[in-house]
């Protein structure tokens, strides 16, 4: 795979800004501090309002490369909704609720290639367009068969190399409008054409916003990640840009200091920066020179719980056992660091929040990503409440 055509992504501009911040020993700053009520992480009523809001938003659920050719299928979960995504013979992406119309078993698990999908309970069979094609002992289901039932279809769209799903049947999905001016930049990466490495699930006893907060600043690197990420990345130094309700962070690696005085034509920014996108409302996309990671973060069953699905795609084709082993090792390292360092500490934060002993959290001027995420969520909840 050759050099990426990233003309819509101003990596040189991010490098110039990052080098200036490193030289001045500072970071991009918000205008003021922000005091976020602790209740926003524990209040059941707000939690339910957040869940309802997320169900109305387009959900990025994977890479286009997970459905590489007609006949491909893959199963997912989003907001507790079991999903079945298919690419049928016409090449089109479709999404269904992964529940058999007979006794509500999952139609299929995992991923693969098939012409028909047979429910493991009683072998009711569906094609990749969602049509019921076979019912063993069909004389027992004359009324059901006459109604020609289908799997419940959800709106789905392939955009910027990713798989997007709407969680409400019968609604429209407009990912281009959802992403706005950030859309061309995401398309330029072509991450949907990279090689998927795998997917891991992480259930945590933390509010879903605490999970998102860990990806929205690198102020904590020097302490929480002292022996891991901080060995290769600078702490408390971030280039920040907002795009409506989305934002982008550029975290300088320690190697950026070697670029000082080097002509811009020799910079190779992706060797000096990690690019982090916060895609409204609950997706984190991390891009390096080697891989593109997705963190899909959802509220759990109560305010103090969340579910994270972590995926990784490798830029180079994984055509050998050695290449795949190397990619999986990088994936494992990142996952274990998030689980054992970020989320482990956040669990303690959540317990303190639930005591009610402290009224608010402080988001510093040096945490513009955290501030932006909190501000746009509060704004969206207020708009939703006003409409209702």
- Residue 222 tokens read as 């020097």
Chain position carrying tokens 């550029």: 250
Task: Please report the pLDDT score of residue 2 as a whole number.
Answer: 45
Reported as a pLDDT band with limits 50, 70 and 90, residue 7 is low
Distance (Å, whole) CA 185 – CA 333: 27
Q: How far is CA 344 from CA 30, 206, 243, in A?
A: 28, 9, 31
For residues 169-176, give the mean pLDDT. Answer: 95
Distance (Å, whole) CA 216 – CA 229: 15
For residues 290-308, give the mean pLDDT. Answer: 97
Tell me the per-residue pLDDT of 125-137, one tens digit each, with 9 for 90 and over: 999 999 999 999 9
Task: Please report the pLDDT score of residue 1 as a whole number.
Answer: 41
Distance (Å, whole) CA 303 – CA 88: 38
| Residue ranges of domains in the chain | 11-58+176-387, 59-173
For residues 21-39, give the mean pLDDT. Answer: 97
Strands 306-314 and 360-363, how do they pair? unpaired
Burial string for 209-236 (b: 16+ CB within 10 Å, else e) reads bbbbbbbbbbbbbeebbeebbbeebbbb
Res. 279: pLDDT tops 80: yes
Tell me the per-residue pLDDT of 214-271, one tens digit each, with 9 for 90 and over: 999 999 999 999 999 999 999 999 999 999 999 999 999 999 999 988 998 899 999 9
Task: Please report the pLDDT score of residue 33 as a whole number.
Answer: 98
For residues 198-225, give the mean pLDDT. Answer: 98
For the chain, the straight-line distance linking the first and the last C-alpha, in angstroms and rounded, comes to: 50
β-bridge mates for residue 137, sequence order: none
Fold of 11-58+176-387: Naphthalene 1,2-dioxygenase Alpha Subunit; Chain A, domain 1 (3.90.380)
Q: For the chain, give the percent of residues with pLDDT over 70.
A: 98
What integer best gives the mean pLDDT of the chain?
A: 95
Helix (H, G, I), strand (E, B) or coil at 354: helix
At 307, phi and psi to the nearest 5? -130, 130
Q: Domain 59-173 - what CATH class? A: mainly beta
Tell me the per-residue pLDDT of 336-359, one tens digit each, with 9 for 90 and over: 999 999 999 999 999 999 999 999
Lowest mean pLDDT among 7-16, 44-53, 203-212, 320-329: 7-16
Task: Please report the pLDDT score of residue 10 as a whole number.
Answer: 87
Q: How far is CA 285 from CA 22, 204, 216, in A?
A: 24, 19, 11
Q: E-assigned strands of the chain?
A: 34-37, 59-63, 72-78, 81-87, 93-97, 111-113, 116-118, 125-127, 132-134, 153-154, 156-159, 162-165, 195-204, 239-243, 246-252, 273-279, 283-287, 291-299, 306-314, 360-363
For residues 301-317, give the mean pLDDT. Answer: 97
Residue 265 C-beta-side C-alpha neighbours within 13 Å = 0
Q: For the chain, give the percent of residues with pLDDT over 90.
A: 90
Task: Please report the pLDDT score of residue 5 as a whole number.
Answer: 61
CB 307 within 8 A of CB 200: no
Distance (Å, whole) CA 245 – CA 375: 9
């Amino acid at each position: 795979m050759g050099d990426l055509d990233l003309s819509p992504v101003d990596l040189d501009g991010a490098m110039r800004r990052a080098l200036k911040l490193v030289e001045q020993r500072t970071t991009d700053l918000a205008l003021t501090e922000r005091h976020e009520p602790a209740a926003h992480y524990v209040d059941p009523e707000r939690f339910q309002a957040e869940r309802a809001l997320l169900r109305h938003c387009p959900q990025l659920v994977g890479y286009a490369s997970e459905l590489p050719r007609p006949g491909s299928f893959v199963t997912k979960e989003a907001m507790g909704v079991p999903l079945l995504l298919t690419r049928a013979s016409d090449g089109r992406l479709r999404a269904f609720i992964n529940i058999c119309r007979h006794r509500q078993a999952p139609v299929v698990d995992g991923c693969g290639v098939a012409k028909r999908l047979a429910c493991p309970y009683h072998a009711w069979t569906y094609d990749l367009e969602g049509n019921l094609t076979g019912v063993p002992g069909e004389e027992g289901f004359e009324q059901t068969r006459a109604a020609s039932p289908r799997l419940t279809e959800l709106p789905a769209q392939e955009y910027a190399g990713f798989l997007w799903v709407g969680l409400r049947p019968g609604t429209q999905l407009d990912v281009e409008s959802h992403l706005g001016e950030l859309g061309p930049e995401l398309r330029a990466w072509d991450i949907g054409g990279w090689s998927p490495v795998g997917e891991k699930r992480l259930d945590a006893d933390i509010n879903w916003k605490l999970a998102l907060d860990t990806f929205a600043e690198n102020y904590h690197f020097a302490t929480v990640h002292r022996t891991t990420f901080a060995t290769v990345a600078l702490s408390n130094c971030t280039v920040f840009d907002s795009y409506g309700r989305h934002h982008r962070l550029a975290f300088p690696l320690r190697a950026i200091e070697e670029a000082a005085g080097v002509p811009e034509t020799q910079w190779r920014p992706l060797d000096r920066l990690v690019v982090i996108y916060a895609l409204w409302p609950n997706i984190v996309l991390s891009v390096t020179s080697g891989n593109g990671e997705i963190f899909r973060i959802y509220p759990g069953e109560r305010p103090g719980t969340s579910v994270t699905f972590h995926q990784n795609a490798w830029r180079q084709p994984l055509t050998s056992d050695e290449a795949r082993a190397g990619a999986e090792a990088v994936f494992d390292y990142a996952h274990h660091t998030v689980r054992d360092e970020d989320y482990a500490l956040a669990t303690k934060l959540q317990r303190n929040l639930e005591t009610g002993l402290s009224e608010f959290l402080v988001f510093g001027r040096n945490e513009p990503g955290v501030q932006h995420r909190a501000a746009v969520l509060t704004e969206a909840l207020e708009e939703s409440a006003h409409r209702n």
